C-alpha cells in the first residue's frame, strides 16, 4: 500500500502565512504540518508516499521531505500543474500507483487517531473496495456527508447538503483497495468535465461514481481531526500536539518563566518574559519583555514588549509594542 498526500493547494485560508511557504510547511509543535503527517506514516506498515505538489514553492516540500524522511520512506513527487480540485490532484498520482491499494490523507489535516488505527479499522471491514473515515457532527450541512445503509456500507456521498441524509461527516482520510476503480471514476469525471463543488473535480464525487458502479465502500470512525488550513484550528492542533511533547527550553533564557507545554527550536533567546503555555517557537526566535501564550512564532521572528495570545507570527517578523491577538506574515514589521 502507498500513501497519497495532496499538497498542491495554495492555502489561501492561511494567508499571510502561506504567501511565502506552502501550508504543509507551516510549523506547529516542533515541525511543519507535513512532518507530523509523515511521522505518522512511518509508524505504519506503509513504506512509500506519493506527495502531490504544485506551484512555485513546491521545492520547499521536496527538500524537506527528502532531507527528513528520505531514509524512512520511498518518496515520489508528481506535480499538479493546473489546480482543479482534490479529485484532480489525486488523479496525478496514477502513474505512481500501478493498481496498488492506496491510503489517502489530506495535506492540511491532522488526526487524533493514529494512521495505524485507521488501517486496522479498514481491515476489520472485510471485503470492501474502499473505506473512509467519518465523524458524527452537529451541523452536517457544513460538511461532505455520507448516507450509510443498515450494513454500514455507503449508499451516497453528498457535499454540504441543505437537507443532510445523515450526521456522518467525511473526515479526509481514505483507504482505497480498488485504486484502478477510483482512477477510472476520476478519469470519467475529468473527461466528461463533471465538476463538483467550487467548480472543481472532487474526490467524493469519484467515490460516489464508484458506489453507482457497484463498488462496496465502508466507513470507520475518526475521533477528532484538525483542519490546519485555518488559523483557529491550526492553533488548536498546536495545543493538542504540544500536550504530547516534553517541554524544550532554549539555552539562552534570562529572567524568564516557561509555562509548559512549550516547544523551542535552536538558538532561541528569551529575556525577561513569560512564555507558555501552548507556545511553539521556531529557530532563531528572539523574545524580550513579553508575555506569549497559545501562539506559534516563526523562524527568526523578534518580539519586544508585547502581550500575545492565540496568535500566529510568521518567519522573520518583527513586532514591537503591545497587542492581544495577531496573524502576522513572514518578514512583517509592526510597531504598536
Spatial separation of the C-alpha atoms in residues 82 and 100, rounded to whole Å: 25
Cα separations (Å) of 177 from 3, 129, 221?
A: 12, 5, 18
Residue 326 binned pLDDT confidence (cut-offs 50, 70, 90): low
pTM of the model: 0.90
Residue 151 binned pLDDT confidence (cut-offs 50, 70, 90): confident
Looking at residue 334, its pLDDT comes to 56
Residue 244 binned pLDDT confidence (cut-offs 50, 70, 90): confident
Looking at residue 9, its pLDDT comes to 82
Of 73 and 56, the structure prediction assigns the larger pLDDT to 73
Beta strand 333-335 pairing with 318-320: parallel
Least trusted range by pLDDT, from 137-146, 148-157, 260-269: 137-146
Dump pLDDT digits (tens) for 57-86. Answer: 999 999 999 999 999 999 999 999 998 999
Tell me which DSSP letter residue 19 carries: G
Say yes or no to pLDDT of 102 above 90: yes
Q: What is the mean pLDDT of the chain?
A: 90
Residue 34 binned pLDDT confidence (cut-offs 50, 70, 90): very high
Q: Which residue has the cell 516542533?
A: 30
Say yes or no to pLDDT of 331 above 90: no
Q: Are 32 and 64 in contact (CB under 8 A)?
A: yes
The separation between CA 102 and the C-alpha centre of its own chain, rounded to angstroms, equals 18
Dump pLDDT digits (tens) for 170-196. Answer: 988 999 999 999 999 999 999 998 988
Question: 63 is written with which cell numbers?
Answer: 527538500
H helices present in 129-202, as ranges:
179-191
Cα separations (Å) of 289 from 246, 256, 292, 295, 313?
A: 25, 9, 10, 16, 17
CATH of region 246-335 = 2.160.10.10
Q: What percent of the chain has pLDDT over 90?
A: 67
Residue ranges covered by each domain of the chain: 2-234, 246-335
Task: Find the mean pLDDT for residues 159-171.
Answer: 86
CATH 3.90.420.10 fits 2-234, yes or no: no
Amino acid at each position: 500500500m502507498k500513501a497519497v498526500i495532496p499538497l498542491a493547494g495554495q492555502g489561501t485560508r492561511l494567508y499571510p502565512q502561506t504567501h511565502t511557504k506552502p501550508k504543509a510547511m507551516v510549523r506547529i509543535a516542533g515541525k511543519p504540518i507535513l512532518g507530523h503527517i509523515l511521522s505518522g506514516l512511518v509508524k505504519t506498515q506503509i513504506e512509500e508516499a506519493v506527495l502531490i505538489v504544485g506551484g512555485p514553492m513546491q521545492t520547499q516540500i521536496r527538500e524537506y521531505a527528502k532531507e527528513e524522511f528520505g531514509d524512512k520512506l520511498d518518496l515520489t513527487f508528481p506535480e499538479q500543474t493546473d489546480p482543479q480540485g482534490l479529485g484532480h490532484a489525486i488523479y496525478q498520482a496514477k502513474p505512481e500507483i500501478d493498481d496498488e491499494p492506496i491510503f489517502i490523507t489530506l495535506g492540511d489535516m491532522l488526526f487524533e487517531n493514529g494512521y495505524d488505527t485507521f488501517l486496522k479499522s479498514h481491515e476489520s471491514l472485510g471485503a470492501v473496495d474502499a473505506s473512509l473515515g467519518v465523524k458524527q457532527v452537529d451541523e452536517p450541512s457544513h460538511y461532505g456527508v455520507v448516507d450509510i445503509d443498515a450494513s454500514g456500507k455507503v449508499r451516497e456521498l453528498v457535499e454540504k447538503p441543505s437537507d443532510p441524509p445523515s450526521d456522518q461527516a467525511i473526515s479526509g482520510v481514505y483507504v482505497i483497495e480498488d485504486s484502478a476503480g477510483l482512477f477510472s471514476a476520476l478519469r470519467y469525471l475529468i473527461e466528461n468535465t463533471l465538476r463538483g463543488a467550487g467548480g472543481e473535480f472532487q474526490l467524493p464525487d469519484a467515490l460516489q461514481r464508484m458506489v453507482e458502479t457497484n463498488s462496496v465502500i465502508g466507513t470507520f470512525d475518526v475521533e477528532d481531526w484538525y483542519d490546519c488550513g485555518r488559523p483557529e484550528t491550526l492553533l488548536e492542533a498546536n495545543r493538542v500536539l504540544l500536550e504530547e511533547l516534553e517541554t524544550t527550553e532554549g539555552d539562552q533564557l534570562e529572567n524568564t518563566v516557561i509555562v509548559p507545554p512549550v516547544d523551542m527550536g535552536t538558538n532561541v533567546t528569551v529575556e525577561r518574559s513569560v512564555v507558555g503555555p501552548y507556545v511553539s517557537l521556531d529557530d532563531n526566535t528572539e523574545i524580550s519583555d513579553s508575555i506569549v501564550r497559545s501562539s506559534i512564532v516563526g523562524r527568526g521572528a523578534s518580539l519586544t514588549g508585547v502581550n500575545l495570545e492565540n496568535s500566529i507570527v510568521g518567519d522573520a517578523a518583527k513586532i514591537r509594542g503591545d497587542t492581544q491577538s495577531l496573524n502576522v506574515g513572514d518578514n512583517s514589521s509592526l510597531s504598536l
